[in-house]
Amino acid sequence: MSKTQTPVTGLSPAAEVKAALAGFISDIKAMNDEIQKRLQQQEERLTMQERKTISTAAAMRPALAVQAEIEAPHKKAFEAYVRTGDDDALRGLQLEGKALNTAVAGDGGYLVDPQTAQTIASVLASTASIRAIANVVNVEATSYDVLVDHGDVGSGWASETGAVTETTTPMIERITIPLHELSALPKASQRLLDDSAFDIEAWLAGRIADKFARAEAAAFVNGDGVDKPRGFLTYPVADVGTEVWGQLGRVRTGVDGGFDAVAPGDAIVDLIYALGAPYRANASFVMNSKTAGEVRKLKDANGRFLWSDGMAAGEPARLMGYPVLIAEDMPDIAIGANAIAFGDFRAGYTIAERPDLRILRDPFSAKPHVLFYATKRVGGDVSDFEAIKLLTFSV
């Protein structure tokens, strides 16, 4: 055999290397298969009890709420804007609903995050205001129109052959409730905002809610309608039976600045039945705390109190079976004061509001403090003058 001949295997050196490499790869694959097989066997050794334990432990871990994941960018962006004025995150968010909205960026303001807005709404709803018993509607326009039918269709008896005469036609009254801007301007120092332990959203929601609640509650009762809602006590009053549309009917107590000494409860009875029967089913009394203190002393002819406290927690007190709303903006008992109102306020008074709330951060006007200018659009007015009656303390 010459020096250039191949080994007895008959393969060239290159072929032998290729064959050896193929064998090595095959061995690695076989080892990998063996590892996978053993892992599978190890997994199958888990008993059903062990699997149940693992599932229980997983269920006990705090869940990542979907709602929280959705709101997290909102909250972080709003937090950054409130603390530092950085609105880059706000501009980049594409948000839905009544949360942060980039559409108002041109006005320099941003809507608060959903959690803060709900906090404010719940405080407004729970405050001692006629909002709790009035008709509240959400609108997207600058005003809200209420159509009221305060007339009646005439009728008459007709004979078989007699001519039918024309009857009266009902009257439709249009009441326009404009929306006014309710604002609050709380402030905080920049150092306080920089403190990471400070809950800026809770503080902001509380301050705004308190300001808005007191301002609108007063306007719904005594507002003059100029850049604010018009209160129901600002309308003219007339004795029951003589009032016309645009006036509220009143019942007099017969005594200047007080109740009758002999039969004090008669004025309450007269007030109740001065209201039309269709309204009495949903009627409520409205008075302030001082007036309530005097009214709850009244007794009937048999010595029984006319006032009764709520039977369960959270239920309003009742006067002769009708719920009582304590609104501190009602006037005290005085000569000629309309200190008690009685009526179906869901029919008689309408509150229109836009559901959005805007926050504008101003770090320049009151250095070293940061001002937060919050605005909300709300309006209110009497929508049915026949649905509310007043008790006047006069002869």
pTM for this one? 0.69
* Residues sharing a CB contact under 8 Å with residue 113, sequence separation 6 or more, in sequence order: 71, 74, 75, 78, 99, 100, 201
> Average pLDDT, whole number, for the chain?
79
Is the CB of residue 380 less than 8 Å from the CB of residue 230? yes
| Per-residue pLDDT tens over the stretch 246-299 | 999 999 999 999 998 888 899 999 999 999 999 999 999 999 999 999 999 998
| Per-residue pLDDT tens over the stretch 194-209 | 765 667 767 777 778 8
Span 69-152+168-228+353-382: which CATH code?
3.30.2400.10
> In percent, how much of the chain has pLDDT > 90?
38
- The secondary element (H helix, E strand) that includes residue 184 is strand 180-184
Q: Across residues 355-361, what is the average pLDDT?
A: 80
> In percent, how much of the chain has pLDDT > 70?
74
Q: Identify the DSSP state of 258.
A: B
Output the CA–CA distances (angstroms, integers) from residue 112 to 91, 98, 203, 209, 332, in the order listed.
14, 8, 13, 13, 38
Q: Look at residue 96 in the predicted model and tell me its pLDDT.
A: 37
Q: Look at residue 235 in the predicted model and tell me its pLDDT.
A: 96
Q: Look at residue 381 in the predicted model and tell me its pLDDT.
A: 96
Question: How do the domains of the chain map onto residue ranges?
Answer: 69-152+168-228+353-382, 235-351+385-392
| Per-residue pLDDT tens over the stretch 209-248 | 888 888 999 999 999 999 999 999 999 999 999 999 899 9
Q: Look at residue 350 in the predicted model and tell me its pLDDT.
A: 95
Write down the residue that tokens 């719940």 correspond to. Answer: 122
Q: Across residues 124-143, what is the average pLDDT?
A: 86
> What is the architecture of the domain spanning 235-351+385-392?
2-Layer Sandwich (3.30)
- CA separation for the pair 204, 209 (Å, rounded): 8
